[in-house]
């Protein structure tokens, strides 16, 4: 993961009009009263992934950036529809082909968007948080 890759993921989520000012890197900010933003919103958490080599004797040239996207909704339906909008920003909902991820100096391929766990409810806060966790990853080769 590079800053450029993170900026592309952040901008892609922010291209969804109602998430333009409600997409945050790493953590959702609290207001002066200690309250989280009004749902829906998305938190983008970057991870470097694992770099791999194309040949045993070659350099580790292929990066595998990975992002965890926490999609928070005001209800299950709101969370689910927001998740579908976020997924549609990366994967075409009709053809199921990924939209290109364009990062200067890289060729992105094998784009994967998955939701490894069901929608969750955090009852430790008031009001409870309803959120979905999605993972976005791809192979990034230098060009």
pLDDT digits (tens, 9 = 90+) for 59-113: 567 889 999 999 999 999 999 999 999 999 999 999 999 999 999 999 999 999 9
Fold held by 3-142: STM4215-like (3.30.2000)
Tokens matching residue 92: 């075409």
Residue identified by tokens 């060009």 is 143
Q: Do residues 29 and 22 make contact, with C-beta atoms less than 8 angstroms apart?
A: no
Q: What is the pTM of this model?
A: 0.91
Q: What is the pLDDT of residue 11?
A: 98
Q: How far apart are CA 97 and CA 131, in angstroms?
A: 25
Q: Do residues 101 and 138 make contact, with C-beta atoms less than 8 angstroms apart?
A: yes
Residue identified by tokens 């998305």 is 42
Furthest-apart CA pair in the chain: how many Å? 56
């Amino acid at each position: 993961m590079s800053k450029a890759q993170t900026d592309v993921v952040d901008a892609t989520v922010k291209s969804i009009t109602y998430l333009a000012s409600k997409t945050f890197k790493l953590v959702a900010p609290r207001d002066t009263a200690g309250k989280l933003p009004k749902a829906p919103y998305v938190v983008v958490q970057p991870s470097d992934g694992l770099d791999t080599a194309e040949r045993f004797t070659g350099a580790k040239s292929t990066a595998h950036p990975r992002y965890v996207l926490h999609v928070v909704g005001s209800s299950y339906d709101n969370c689910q529809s927001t998740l579908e909008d976020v997924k549609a920003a990366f994967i075409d909902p009709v053809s199921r082909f990924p939209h290109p991820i364009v990062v200067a100096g890289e060729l992105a391929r094998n784009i994967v968007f998955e939701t490894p766990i069901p929608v969750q409810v955090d009852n430790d806060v008031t009001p409870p948080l309803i959120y979905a966790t999605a993972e976005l990853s791809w192979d990034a080769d230098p060009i």
